[in-house]
Amino acid sequence: MSQNEVAGLDNDILNQCEQALGYQFHNRDLLLNCLTHASGAKHRLASNERLEFLGDAVLGLVVCEMLFHRFPNQTEGELTRIKSILVSRTTCAKVSMELGFDRYLLLGKGLSTHDRVPMSVTAAVFESLIAGVYLDGGLEAARTLIERIMEPELEQTIQLEHGRNFKSLLQQHAQKSFGTTPVYKLLDEKGPDHSKCFKVAAVIGSHAYPAAWGPNKKEAEQRAANNALHDLQGKEIPFAAD
């Protein structure tokens, strides 16, 4: 294959990648660098590894900013949990595969013969492309890209989290219906130090809802919140404490 044919092939890949990305690069060499895996690079520094390092930081920054503004009443721990899901290798690989970035990777022979690109590689190219957009177009361009791509993932994560995070659901309900935030009152504990159980009740305003036992305070609070949600809906509570 001639150099012109190679250049033409690379150009086709770059065009398709830009279309999938929704961003047109000013520096096409930078985009090519984003797509070059270490196995297909002439040397380590010509691969996308350094870009992956930068892209991970930019992704984390923008996702943290999204969560900070989206959830003004959530604690640091709750925000950290959601962030860890959104910036995880699993989510990055999923997004990368959905957008088809794995098809544009420049891989060495060892990887290009595989039927499926490893998850770590597909996740890395997504982060590399974020870094590429950041370097090519600045933070605003990277923020626009990340928000557009990650917003559906955020919504899905929230739905999954709320499906099992009864404290979060109760907090939303209490703030909407009563204009206040639930608190959790420790009523009792029993058992030896290495195997304690805790009895907790959710309290909204002056009203305490049916308590629940749990193997630790965190789980007891989740069960107490679940009890409160059921009680508010006139349903039988799932965790009877007595």
Residue positions annotated with a catalytic role: 56, 127
Q: Give me the residues paired with residue 184 across strands.
A: 202
Residues in the chain: 242
Q: What is d(CA 213, CA 235) in angstroms, rounded to the nearest whole number? A: 19
| Nearest CA among 92, 151, 84, 87 for reference residue 126 | 92
Cβ atoms of 117 and 49 closer than 8 Å: no
Q: What is d(CA 241, CA 185) in angstroms, rounded to the nearest whole number? A: 14
Q: Which residues contact 182 (CB under 8 A, 6 or more apart)?
A: 167, 170, 171, 174, 202, 203, 204, 225, 228
**Is residue 160 classed as helix, strand or coil in its secondary structure?**
helix
Q: What is d(CA 88, CA 174) in angstroms, rounded to the nearest whole number? A: 31
* 30-to-35, 123, 142 alpha-carbon distances in Å: 9, 18, 14
From the CA atom positions of the chain, what is the Rg in Å? Answer: 24
